[in-house]
Structure 1
Amino acid sequence: MEWLWITGDCRLGCERTGVLVIWLGPVQWDGQHASFYACEPCLDRLKAQALACFMERQPASA
């Protein structure tokens, strides 16, 4: 799968503008929708947080 990076605004945390970002999906809140984009450093941080969460849920090795 090829990722499509565009120049835009990071909405994930750093809120930098005019940087390469990738679309993560729509965000819905209170009946409204917005596109959600993240730059590579913020995406890497999100992936690390998700991995840590997944690892916490792993059953202990026998």
Structure 2
Amino acid sequence: MDGHWITGDCWLGCARTGVPVIWLGPLQWDGQHAPVFTCAPCLDRIKAQALAYFLSQQPVTA
């Protein structure tokens, strides 16, 4: 599933259906697994959030 866009449903905030989506990774809950897919706009949003988080974790240098 890695790196291949398919037509499907976005599991993130927009919840659009029948759009190009890419596999984001597995969701694990209570011993169960489900494949999570995301559309390009939601992927861009989550990548920006991750980058902001990573940058906020950088040690401050003098």
TM-score, scaled relative to structure 1 = 0.90
Secondary structure of residue in 2 paired with 1:61 = coil
| 4+ residue runs over 2 A deviation | none
Any unmatched runs of 5+ in structure 1? none
Q: 1:60 Cα deviation (Å)?
A: 1.5
Gap runs ≥5 in structure 2: none
* Count of residue pairs the alignment pairs up: 61
The code of the aligned residue for 1:58 comes to: Q
Identity of aligned residues (%): 69
Q: Is the 8 A contact 2:12 2:42 kept in 1?
A: yes
Match of 1:19 in 2: 19
Letter in 1 for 2:53: C
Residue 43 of structure 1, CA deviation: 0.3
Corresponding position: 1:44 with 2:44: yes
Equivalent residue, structure 2, for 1:8: 8
Q: CA RMSD in A?
A: 1.3
